[in-house]
A and B are shown apart, each in its own frame.
Chain A
Amino acid sequence: MEQLIQEAKKLLEENKVDVVIGYRSSPLPPFTRPAFIRRPEDCEQLVFNCGSVYNLTRYLIGLGEKPAIVVKGCEQRGLVVLEQENMLPRDSYLLIGVGCSGQVDERKLREGGFDRLPEQLSDELMADKCLYCDQHNTPDADIFVGDEVESVEPRTERYAGLDEFFAQDYEELYHHWTEVFSRCIRCYACRNICPLCYCEQCISYVNMPQWLPRSVADNNNYLFHMRRVLCMAGRCIDCGECERACPVDIPLRTLYKRIAQKIEGFFYGYRAGNNREQLPPLQDFNKDDSADFIL
């Protein structure tokens, strides 16, 4: 990643940005750590590889400095959504684009011990979202570093298995989710790591009225997660960070993806962050929306 280091150095030396946000190596390869580089001589630390799993766009809102940021193709969609919601103007940061051929999945790696990582990241250790990735190279980048990755055939369907899973009847689904969410310890990691959660006061903290009671009694976890699905409806870019950060392995993306799938069907193939011109479904309306459920 010589080019990344050179470009970062140049940006800092020419004072085009105050900070370069990227990845640096960690004591636990293949994983990396987020790096905030402010001095040109520190740029040597920057790396990008299959362990650069973190979605760094999370840091951009309220940063207060002009950043250049390393963003993978899938995460760039989040920046588009933030721009559509007037949270982050496009000229407030410089986008360093990279070619990404897939990221490692920590859980899959853990199952077989950390020594299992071969030279080339194989499909069986790759994160699920990478198996159906259609955006290997960051679009709309100000600076593109490294080589473009050739697009490969998706190995799984984006919404694989969802229709079968959600074909269960309501009672079964209800019990399934109640049970899954009873594991939740309400650490709010899913919310805190989400690049699209930026409310200054989250509704789960609002006391008067208290929409989401904080105790774990009475299925309140279920309620909290229902609210999160609602927050993510039409916005989730499927970066997979919530699921990665969850300490109790709750399959959150099953729900988010199901709603995304439905929205894609309802609203003319809408997919969050794919197109700047197409507004998120809940910010917009169409007079011809389906109305078959209305009496």
Chain B
Amino acid sequence: MADAETTAKTKKKADRTGFEPHIIGFLCNWCTYAGADLAGTSRIGYPTNIKAVRVPCSGRVDAMYVINALKNGADGVLVSGCHPGDCHYNQGNYYARRRFMILREIFSAMGINPERLQMSWCSAAEGAKWAQIVAQVTEKIRELGPFEGI
């Protein structure tokens, strides 16, 4: 455990040249995950920096998941769900929107750049948009550099 932590820390301290951000993506099972699948089957390439975690709904993503991801070595987090009005559970993404609005404010009040937490809406039909979102987020996190907080 201690060893793993030390490795993560050393990795984080690596200089920015050749820095490849680790991004954890929490993807809604009903849209973004299928959208990412579509990007794959349509052979649309996108940065491999994102590690996808499939969740039943963006409303399932607890703020602690995000904080824990950052604590354990991620440089950025992307939460992606259905477009407003399209939620499989009708309202999960609305709750998620408020939750992460507030979490971003907590980050900026406590001195973590809120841009490290990104959120997007992406439907199952938007494979190309998904590729574009991942590229955009990766670029943003790359600019911010390695996350050394928490």
Q: Which residues on A sit within 8 Å (CB–CB) of B63?
A: 230
Residue of B nearest to A176 (CB): B111
Residue of A nearest to B140 (CB): A295
Q: Which residues on B sit within 8 Å (CB–CB) of A267?
A: 98
- Chain A interface size, as a band, is 35 or more
Q: Which residues on A sit within 8 Å (CB–CB) of B98?
A: 267, 281-282, 284-285, 289
Residue with the highest number of chain A CB atoms closer than 10 Å, among B68, B106, B109: B109
- Segment among A16-24, A92-100, A118-126, A216-224 that sits at the interface with chain B: A216-224
Q: Does the CB pair B136–A295 fall under 8 Å?
A: yes
Q: Which residues on A sit within 8 Å (CB–CB) of B95?
A: 282, 285
Give A294 to B101 CA distance when docked, in angstroms.
9
Bitwise, B41-81 to A at CB < 8 A (1) or not (0) is: 00000000000000000000001100110010000000000
Q: Among B71, B97, B102, B118, which residue has its beta carbon within 8 angstroms of that of A291? A: B97
Q: Does the CB pair A255–B109 fall under 8 Å?
A: yes
Asked whether B99 is an interface residue with its Cβ less than 8 Å from the other chain, the reply is yes
Q: Does the CB pair A282–B111 fall under 8 Å?
A: no
Asked whether A233 is an interface residue with its Cβ less than 8 Å from the other chain, the reply is yes
Q: Does the CB pair B110–A173 fall under 8 Å?
A: yes
Residue of A nearest to B96 (CB): A285
Q: Among A219, A266, A290, A295, which residue has its beta carbon within 8 angstroms of that of B133? A: A295
Count of chain B residues with a beta carbon within 8 Å of a chain A beta carbon: 37
Q: Does the CB pair B119–A173 fall under 8 Å?
A: no
Asked whether B137 is an interface residue with its Cβ less than 8 Å from the other chain, the reply is yes
Q: Does the CB pair A177–B104 fall under 8 Å?
A: no
Asked whether A293 is an interface residue with its Cβ less than 8 Å from the other chain, the reply is yes
Query: B117-150: which residues lie under 8 A (CB-CB) from chain A?
Result: 118-121, 133, 136-137, 149-150
Asked whether B38 is an interface residue with its Cβ less than 8 Å from the other chain, the reply is no
Q: Which residues on A sit within 8 Å (CB–CB) of B149?
A: 174, 219
Asked whether A276 is an interface residue with its Cβ less than 8 Å from the other chain, the reply is no
- Segment among A53-61, A62-70, A139-147, A256-264 that sits at the interface with chain B: A256-264
Asked whether B7 is an interface residue with its Cβ less than 8 Å from the other chain, the reply is no
Chain B residues within CB distance 8 Å of chain A: 5, 63-64, 67-68, 71, 84-85, 91, 94-95, 97-106, 108-114, 118-121, 133, 136-137, 149-150
